[in-house]
């Protein structure tokens, strides 16, 4: 029987990746009483957590070495592969029985490979990408899409509940990543629509903020419109979610769709526009910067 006592007060957690979202997510674990170990490629981004009581580790493997739960949210699939499957990485260093939770948006195929490698060492792997951006991370109300066994999901649920509100087991390994791809496909088309809508309102001589009061509570309502729309209007293009990471997600989704002989023309157009935005120097801006490409 899987232990289902992963309570914050009795669990040592290694958290790897303390960027825009990870910093807040790790902070919630620390506030809940977890014994927290942290690693980030740029150490300064973990300083606040260390000052609050987390222990710094020099490598992902060092962080994983005596942790009951290892959580990662890093940049790209190649980063996920390196920290989990590389020499001296998480799978090699984590103890038997550890729970490995990758919250990066990554490849479904890679999630299955990590699961296989983990099971061979008596570990439990769960792919658990998130949606909700920097706001959802700060407010601990992320949507968490998980892939893995029911037993493992139930065991780690008390930990996941410290970071999110809508936490759903989608199926076996890789299912969380496939669900995140469905999420990103919907967002890609939505971001084009929100950008075009607000630029249209502006060109029509309307006050975009007033327009939002009407369309933000109607059939057009969405996270992109109601959270990122005001940032577009204000000219705030700081990253809650990086353009470069969204392009990565769209690439994974297109590759996965092609493997299923599925054509996604809306997603193809969104990727084309975001690639143009990145080529013009926007890769480190937030995804709402697509507005600037339309407003010309």
Which one of 37, 180, 248, 285 is the catalytic residue?
180
Residue numbers of the chain with a pLDDT score lower than 70: 1-5
Distance CA 206, CA 211 (A): 7
Task: Identify which of 67, 61, 68, 70 has the alpha carbon closest to the alpha carbon of residue 90.
Answer: 61
pTM: predicted TM-score of the whole model, two decimal places: 0.91
Extents of the domains making up the chain: 8-172, 178-294
CATH value of 8-172 in 3.40.640.10, 3.30.1370.100, 3.40.50.720, 3.40.50.2300: 3.40.50.720
The residue written with tokens 């029985």 in the block is: 97
Give the fold, CATH level 3, of 178-294.
1.10.1040
Bridge partners of 131? 143
Q: How many CB atoms lie within 10 A of CB 87?
A: 7
CA gap 121, 278 in Å, rounded: 41
What is the Cα–Cα distance from 190 to 182, expressed in whole angstroms? 13
Q: pLDDT value at position 4?
A: 54
Active site residue 180: yes
- The predicted pLDDT at position 1 comes to 37
**pLDDT score recorded for residue 9:** 76
């Amino acid at each position: 029987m899987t232990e289902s006592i992963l309570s914050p007060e009795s669990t040592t957690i290694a958290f790897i990746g303390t960027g825009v979202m990870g910093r807040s997510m790790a902070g919630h674990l620390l506030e809940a009483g977890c014994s927290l170990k942290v690693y980030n490629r740029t150490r300064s981004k973990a300083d606040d957590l260390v000052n609050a009581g987390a222990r710094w580790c020099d490598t992902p493997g060092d962080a994983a070495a005596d942790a009951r739960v290892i959580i990662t949210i890093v940049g790209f699939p190649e980063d996920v592969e390196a920290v989990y499957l590389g020499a001296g990485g998480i799978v090699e260093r984590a103890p038997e029985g550890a729970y490995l939770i990758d919250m990066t948006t990554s490849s479904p195929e890679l999630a299955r490979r990590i699961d296989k490698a983990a099971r061979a060492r008596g570990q439990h792997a769960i792919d658990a990408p998130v949606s909700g951006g920097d706001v959802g991370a700060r407010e601990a109300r992320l949507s968490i899409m998980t892939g893995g066994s029911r037993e493992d999901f139930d065991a780690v649920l008390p930990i996941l509940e410290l970071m999110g509100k809508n936490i759903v087991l989608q199926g076996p390994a890789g299912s969380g990543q496939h669900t995140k791809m469905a999420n990103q496909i919907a967002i890609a088309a939505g971001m084009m629509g929100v950008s075009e809508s607000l630029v249209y309102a502006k060109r029509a001589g309307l006050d975009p903020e007033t327009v939002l009061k009407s369309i933000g509570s109607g059939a057009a309502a969405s996270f992109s419109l109601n959270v990122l729309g005001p940032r577009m209007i204000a000219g705030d293009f700081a990253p809650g979610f990086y353009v470069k990471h969204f392009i990565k997600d769209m690439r994974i989704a297109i590759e996965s769709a092609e493997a299923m002989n599925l054509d996604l023309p809306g997603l193809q157009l969104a990727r084309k526009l975001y690639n143009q935005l990145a080529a013009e120097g926007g890769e480190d801006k937030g995804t709402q910067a697509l507005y600037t490409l339309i407003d010309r």
